[in-house]
């Protein structure tokens, strides 16, 4: 019987309250994004990729710190790299910081990652891929999961041969984005492959790719018998899609609701990164929030040109004065939480 989206499930010993997972996305999945996703119904949230080489050598320019709030749990921290021992040490550090799950990236198709032997490249080196999973699983007490593509080339079925081996090596769950690395984000996700993977392994499989609505989420769960769905690009500047999939909200948000959520996101991002970093980081989010026909295109372009976050806030409130009251309501609903600061460099993509 198909699982309902609002029913709990487990990865190892970690209970997840809904079957909606917010994807790890480079330059996107900062704490503000994760916290917002949780408010809109995501059962599991994920950090963006953390470079294990950066953690080992500490010579990567520090663009910020990974902060874990008590309201983010359960939280998966995703790591990437190509050396088992280095990955194992990185996993220990993120477990110590409070991560509930360590996720390993075997799916990133970006050249900056694959040229180092990490990301999707590891699907063509199953011996090393399994050695990394085994080393990480041995190093930590929390569950270890893997996110992967179908393979490097279009039409590849590599995930079906490598996936069961990763489970044997210690993976407690698998996420499959059934596009090839060559496809990047073009074409469509072939979830018939996800269904085949579900049949091959005895751990939860998360279906990733083209999950854009509640109807589509139900369709993919029915087609694949996957344990959960992962929402990625559809959630960028659009938490209402997560809410619609979760059955918590529906319909188009008003201009005031859009501006209130954006302003709260901006506040949280500045608190996390500091104003200087946040000013540049936030610019791509203006287009995501204000696009989709919600605001005139020149308005977004105007915001990008402003020099400070405060100027952007002022302009947004001038465009939607009613957002101020909604923002006060959102602030009042937020829990008072302490944060753990993980004193480590974050993803090489952080900051956009």
Q: Could you tell me the pLDDT band of residue 57, with boundaries at 50, 70 and 90?
A: low
> How confident is the model at residue 350, as a pLDDT?
36
CA dihedral 318, 323, 329, 333 (to 10 degrees): -100
Q: Reduced to 3 states, what is the DSSP secondary structure of residue 76?
A: strand
> How confident is the model at residue 175, as a pLDDT?
98
Task: Quote the longest CA-to-CA distance of the chain.
Answer: 58
Active site residue 52: no
**pLDDT tens-place string over residues 211-240:** 999 999 999 999 999 999 999 999 999 999
Inform me whether the pLDDT recorded for 346 exceeds 50. no
Q: Could you tell me the pLDDT band of residue 347, with boundaries at 50, 70 and 90?
A: very low
> How confident is the model at residue 337, as a pLDDT?
61
Inform me whether the pLDDT recorded for 344 exceeds 60. no
Check if the beta carbon of residue 303 is closer than 8 Å to that of residue 286: yes
Inform me whether the pLDDT recorded for 64 exceeds 60. no
- Across residues 44-70, what is the average pLDDT? 68
Domain 9-250: give its CATH superfamily: Aldolase class I (3.20.20.70)
**pLDDT tens-place string over residues 242-275:** 999 999 877 789 999 999 999 999 999 998 888 9
Element (H, E) at 20: strand 20-22
> How confident is the model at residue 274, as a pLDDT?
86
What is the chain's alpha carbon radius of gyration, rounded to the nearest angstrom?
20
The 8-class DSSP code of residue 70 comes to G
Mean pLDDT of the chain: 90
- As a whole number of angstroms, the distance between CA 253 and CA 244 comes to 11
CA 64 to chain centre: 17
SS3 assignment for 201-268? CCCCEEEECCCCCHHHHHHHHHHHCCCEEEECHHHCCCHHHHHHHHCCCCCCCCHHHHHHHHHHHHHH
Q: Could you tell me the pLDDT band of residue 62, with boundaries at 50, 70 and 90?
A: very low
- Residue with the bigger pLDDT between 105 and 65: it is 105
- Across residues 128-133, what is the average pLDDT? 98
Q: Where are the domains of the chain?
A: 9-250, 255-333
**pLDDT tens-place string over residues 161-176:** 999 999 999 999 999 9
Inform me whether the pLDDT recorded for 295 exceeds 70. yes
Which range has the worst mean pLDDT, 56-70, 200-214, 253-267?
56-70
> How confident is the model at residue 97, as a pLDDT?
81
**pLDDT tens-place string over residues 75-129:** 999 999 999 999 999 899 889 888 999 999 999 999 989 998 999 999 999 999 9
Given 46, 52, 108, 130, the catalytic residue: 108
Q: How far from 350 is each of 20, 151, 172, 207, 257, CA to CA, in Å?
A: 24, 26, 28, 25, 27
> How confident is the model at residue 211, as a pLDDT?
98
Inform me whether the pLDDT recorded for 20 exceeds 50. yes
Check if the beta carbon of residue 104 is closer than 8 Å to that of residue 147: yes
Q: Is the peptide bond before 291 cis (omega within 30 degrees of 0)?
A: no
> How confident is the model at residue 50, as a pLDDT?
87
Q: Reduced to 3 states, what is the DSSP secondary structure of residue 21?
A: strand
Q: What are phi and psi of 103, to 5 degrees?
A: -105, 140
- Residue with the bigger pLDDT between 348 and 258: it is 258
- Across residues 34-43, what is the average pLDDT? 96
> How confident is the model at residue 69, as a pLDDT?
81
Check if the beta carbon of residue 198 is closer than 8 Å to that of residue 225: yes
């Amino acid at each position: 019987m198909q699982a309902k989206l609002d029913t709990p499930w487990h990865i190892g010993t970690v209970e997840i309250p809904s079957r909606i997972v917010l994807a790890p996305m480079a330059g996107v999945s900062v704490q503000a994004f994760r916290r917002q996703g949780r408010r809109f119904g995501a059962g599991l949230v994920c950090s963006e990729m953390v470079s294990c080489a950066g953690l080992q050598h500490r010579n990567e320019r520090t663009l910020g710190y990974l902060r874990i709030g008590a309201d983010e749990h359960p939280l998966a921290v995703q790591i990437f790299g190509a050396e088992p021992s280095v990955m194992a040490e990185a996993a220990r550090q993120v477990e110590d910081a409070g991560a509930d799950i360590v996720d390993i990236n075997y799916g990133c198709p970006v050249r900056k990652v694959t040229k180092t032997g990490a990301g999707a490249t590891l699907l063509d080196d199953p011996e090393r891929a399994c050695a990394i999973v085994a080393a990480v699983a041995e190093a930590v007490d929390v569950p270890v999961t893997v996110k992967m593509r179908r393979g490097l080339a279009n039409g590849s079925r590599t995930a079906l041969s490598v996936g069961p081996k990763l489970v044997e090596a210690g993976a407690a769950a698998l996420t499959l984005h059934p596009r090839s690395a060559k496809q990047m984000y073009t074409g469509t996700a072939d979830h018939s492959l996800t269904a085949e993977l579900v049949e091959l392994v005895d751990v939860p499989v998360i279906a990733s790719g083209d999950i854009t609505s509640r109807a589509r989420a139900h369709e993919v769960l029915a087609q694949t018998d996957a344990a959960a769905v992962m929402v990625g690009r559809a959630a960028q500047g659009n938490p209402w899609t997560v809410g619609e999939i979760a059955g918590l909200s529906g319909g188009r948000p008003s201009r005031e609701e859009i501006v209130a959520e954006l302003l709260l996101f901006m506040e949280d991002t500045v608190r996390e990164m500091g104003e200087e970093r946040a000013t540049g980081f936030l610019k791509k989010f203006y287009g995501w929030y204000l696009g989709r026909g919600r605001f005139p295109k020149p308005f977004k372009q105007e915001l990008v040109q402003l020099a400070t976050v405060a100027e952007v806030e002022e302009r947004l409130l001038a465009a939607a004065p009613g957002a101020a009251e909604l923002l006060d309501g959102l602030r009042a609903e937020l829990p008072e939480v302490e944060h753990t600061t993980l004193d480590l460099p974050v993803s090489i993509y952080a900051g956009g």
